[in-house]
Amino acid sequence: MACTSSRPGCKLCAMAAVLLAMASSTWRPHAAFYHTSGQHRGSSSRSLLPAAKGLCKTPRLTRFALAPAIAAPLASSLAQRFLGLCGAMLGVSGLGLGALLSLILAGQYGPILKHRKRLPPVDLGLPVLGQSNNILKHGWSGGGRSWLRHLQAKHGPAFVFNLLFVNRVAVYYTVYEKYMQELERAGKLRPLFSKSMQSLLGQKSVLTLPGGKGGALHARIRQKIGPALTQHQLCLMAPQVEAMCRLVLEDMVEETIRDGRTTLLPKIDRLTQDVAAASLLGGFADPDLPHLARIRSLMEDIVAGLFNIPVEKVFGRETVLGKAMRAKVEACQLIDELSELARKGEGSRPGQRDVLSQLARESAEGQALSAEEIHDSVVTMAFAGKVTAAAALPVAVVELARRPDWIQRLASEAPHFEEGVERARPALQFIREAMRIKPPAAAFYRGSDDWIDLGELGAVPPGMPVAVCMDHPRAGLAEGMSEEFEPERWTEEHARQYFIFFGGATPHTCPGKGLALLEMQIFLGLLCRDYSFEVLSEETFVDRAITQVKYKNGLPMKVFRKEL
């Protein structure tokens, strides 16, 4: 069964040779590779190679017939040698494992012992694991019984915890307002993100760039984005957003008629992504053009990678993050193509401004941005526009289904936005209250190279990450206000002071919050006015990829058109 292949890199023969050589009692790591280079040195391995040589040239049925003869003794021998190897390695690897655990424990408990008199209350969780297991079990946030609310009830507005081998401090947003907000405006705090988010959002993202004093590039990018998201521009977009929302609702009706039920979450994911694309790309996001489907597919891969551990260098390009990094490269190439067209005046709708055109052209707001700045800005805006509204809308729909009186109020509301997207009206008040009870973004991280003084609550050592929690007891409530579900509380004055759920009053407050509020109001208004609906299950689970409490099975519903 001699190998007649002239290719020196015959992978099938090499693989078979490796396996057979590993089963040999005289296994040497280099022996199995001699066949691939045409060198058959080493008498101990030479007798094994003929069994593997030529395997790639044998008929397929012959290979299947040979497989049991090779596999049976091979499996037995491999198992014996593997167990022996494990036993030999335990003594050596035990020393390395002990050293690793010592380093982790030193990093976990060393700073606590060193600074114990200055720190807030400490609840690190288990040795080594910290609070990671509890967070994966109960969810980081989502209101109610989440891990975050449990620790807040136990320790109050500031405490130290450990997650993924890193000590962190969690503080209420009110603590941030009192002790940290001025530091951020002075440029003394920096945004902190995971390595995967930093890689995918980019170094020139408005989320990752430092803001406040000294954050010139951050301010410049926000200034360029701003004119595409003014109240006037949002008002011009309203008919287009309404058409997108109606298309989604009609799909849900057809699915209900066909299958007896539909699911909200996949539809909302697509809706929010398409609305964000329309704002970003203008006419390039028309459904008749290929760009929308392409950017939608790429953003799905990118968003999936944002919340994953960066292991692609170890496990290869086919990891979730590896695919996300490739999607970012492809998205940048597409953005370059569309930017060039935008500079020529193509793709813009009459009278409207889109984000891409604003970034790619010189305007009253300044020079055109660089390619890297445009890439990171577009990807960041697409991510932010998708994630926030996609998390908030399902909560609002569930709360509406419990309150028929509010369905009637929203159904009778005229959908006009000429006076502003954030003018107090029933739909907007309901959305704000739904976001209060389950904030779509539970916290944002900040870090400093100096001590952060938290007054009577303690202090944060240099370099220790601070999780500023927008999900905390009485978030969004004035003194003496009830914690019951009461949308009427959200007057314009109350919202200006207490509505913090798009990043609060920070240099990094979400520039696309007006667009998110617009699409949520339009969707809920259409749902209540033109359709009847029923939520079939409110069951939740912990999405361990993002440690958030989410609705199970896509939030099953029934949606029907109202009889005229």
Cα–Cα distances in Å, from 150 out to 141, 529, 538? 10, 39, 21
- What pLDDT is stored for residue 57 in this prediction? 45
Query: Quick one: average pLDDT of 242-260?
Result: 97
Indicate if 515 and 420 belong to the same structural domain.
yes
List the domain range (segments joined by +) for residue 411. 202-439+507-561
190: in domain: no
Residue 182 lies in a domain: no
Q: What's the pLDDT tens digit per position in 486-521? A: 999 999 999 999 999 988 888 888 888 999 999 999
Question: What integer pLDDT is reported at residue 89 of this predicted model?
Answer: 52
Among 87, 116, 145, identify where a domain stops. 116
**Which own/partner pairs from 414-422 qualify as long-range (CB within 8 Å, at least 24 positions apart)?**
415/238, 415/242, 415/521, 415/522, 415/525, 417/231, 417/234, 417/235, 417/238, 417/518, 417/521, 418/235, 420/231, 421/231, 421/234, 421/235, 421/514, 421/517, 421/518, 421/521, 422/492, 422/495, 422/514, 422/517
Whole-angstrom distance, CA of residue 159 vs CA of residue 142: 19
Q: What is the tally of structural domains in the chain?
A: 2
pLDDT confidence band for 154 (50 / 70 / 90): very high
Give pLDDT, residue 101: 82
Lowest mean pLDDT among 60-64, 189-193, 281-285: 60-64
Residue pLDDT, tens place only, 168-185: 999 999 999 999 999 999
pLDDT at 62: 39
| 3-class DSSP state of 161 | strand
Same domain, 435 and 300: yes
- Let me know if residue 152 belongs to a domain: no
CATH number of domain containing 227: 1.10.630.10
Residues 110 and 208 in one domain: no
Q: Report if residue 185 sits inside a domain.
A: no
Evaluate if residue 372 carries a pLDDT over 50: yes
Are residues 247 and 106 part of one domain? Answer: no
Q: Please give the average per-residue pLDDT across 90-119, as a whole number.
A: 81
The winner for highest mean pLDDT among 34-38, 372-376, 542-546 is: 372-376
320-338 confidence digits (pLDDT tens): 888 999 999 999 999 999 9
Instruction: Give CA 169 to chain center in angstroms.
Output: 21
CA atoms within a 13 Å half-sphere pointing along the CA-CB vector of 318: 0
Q: 11-15, 194-198, 473-477: which range is least confident on average? A: 11-15
Asked if residue 360 is part of any domain, the answer here is yes
Residue after which a domain boundary falls, among 99, 116, 133? 116
Domain assignment present for 195: no
pLDDT of residue 490: 97
* 561, pLDDT greater than 60: yes
- Pair 396, 281 in one domain: yes
User: H helices then E strands: how many in the chain?
Assistant: 22, 12
- Whether residue 188 lies inside any domain: the answer is no
pLDDT tens, 263-298? 999 999 999 999 999 999 888 888 878 888 898 899
Domain end position, chosen among 116, 136, 166: 116
Distance CA(454)–CA(118), nearest Å, equals 10
- Please report how many Cα atoms fall inside a 13 Å half-sphere around the Cα of residue 557, on the Cβ side: 27
Residue 316's pLDDT band (cuts 50, 70, 90): low
* Whether residue 110 is found in the same domain as residue 207: no
Residue 289 is assigned to a structural domain of this protein: yes
- The confidence score (pLDDT) of residue 14 equals 44
